[in-house]
Amino acid sequence: MSNRDQRLTQLLIKYRNNDLSPSEYEEFLLLIGGPESEKIIDTMAERDWQGSAEILLGMEFDEERGSRKSYKIVRWGLMIAASVTLIISLFNYWPFHLQKIESITHRTSYGETKSIILPDSSKVLLNANTQLSWDNNWKRKGIRKVKLEGEAFFEVKKLNGTEFVVQSGDVKVKVLGTVFNVRNRRGLTDVFLESGKVKLELDNIDGKTITMEPGNSVHYDDKRTELVVKESTTLIRNASWVDGMLDFQNESLADILNRFEELYGKKFQIENKALLSKRMDLSLPYANWELIRNALEISLDIEFEEHENTIIVN
């Protein structure tokens, strides 16, 4: 049994005992939407009935103690009925409840990344300050769809030709099974394709579609409706955060600080505006803000003055 199946079994037992925490309940709803959940539910239901059946088969009627035996049979009958009612209610309740929950949302705070597994078994790594919403009626609609605000790295599982769509700003990313990164910040959308093939649809440009090949990256400005396509790029250049690093190659300090604002929630006040046009090469560990700060101070030969989440550079 896989780790996912074991976890679903644990949560199913806790559900039946009415012992799920709010976070476990959300995880439970996600897991029972997965492709293997029905087998686990069937197995547990079969075990429940088998135990009740063994009790019935083990009973013997005793004429001398007929009333006592009758009491036990009635009592066990009620327990069996309760067990069967519980199983039926579970089967009836789950689909109804899942239909009412139209979407499931995952969020990360500043400086946090989170790895999640969607109900279709696709894997997603969320970057900091990101929100992803999953359409929970995907089986009924016949399409897997997520809405992304922020940045995420996707490993989409192929599933019987069912399309997977990422809506990010004015850009739709359509795939069947592939690995790619999507970032949507400040009205700018960037898509990098690591493997497989994806098709982009641009809402602001009627009929405009782009088919991407591995190594392609696309940059789209929602406000200006400007599109830039690059070929032969790399994961390090486009999504180094996936490997725990922030890599900047010949980028302006203004763009670098904007990135830090998005990821760490820091605000920068730069008194010397000439610094903002300075171009830099940096490779820094994602999780260590203090190291990032020290590296910037040394590279720029300046000192940061930090007040809560605002950093002043004189």
**Rg of the Cα trace of the chain?**
27
Domains of the chain: 3-100 (no CATH), 103-237 (2.60.120.1440), 244-313 (3.55.50.30)
On whether the CB atoms of residues 194 and 235 are closer than 8 A, the answer is yes
Distance of alpha carbon 111 from alpha carbon 125, whole angstroms: 14
Instruction: State the greatest distance between any 2 C-alpha atoms of the chain, in Å, as a whole number.
Output: 103
Query: What pLDDT, on a 0 to 100 scale, did the predictor assign at position 35?
Result: 58
Query: What pLDDT, on a 0 to 100 scale, did the predictor assign at position 56?
Result: 40
Query: What pLDDT, on a 0 to 100 scale, did the predictor assign at position 126?
Result: 97
- Residues 220-248: pLDDT tens digits? 998 888 899 999 899 999 999 999 999 99
- Residues 142-160: pLDDT tens digits? 999 999 999 999 999 999 8
CA 282 from chain centre, in angstroms, equals 29
Residues of the chain with pLDDT under 50: 52-89, 91-99
Kindly report the pTM of this predicted structure.
Answer: 0.68
Query: What pLDDT, on a 0 to 100 scale, did the predictor assign at position 313?
Result: 83
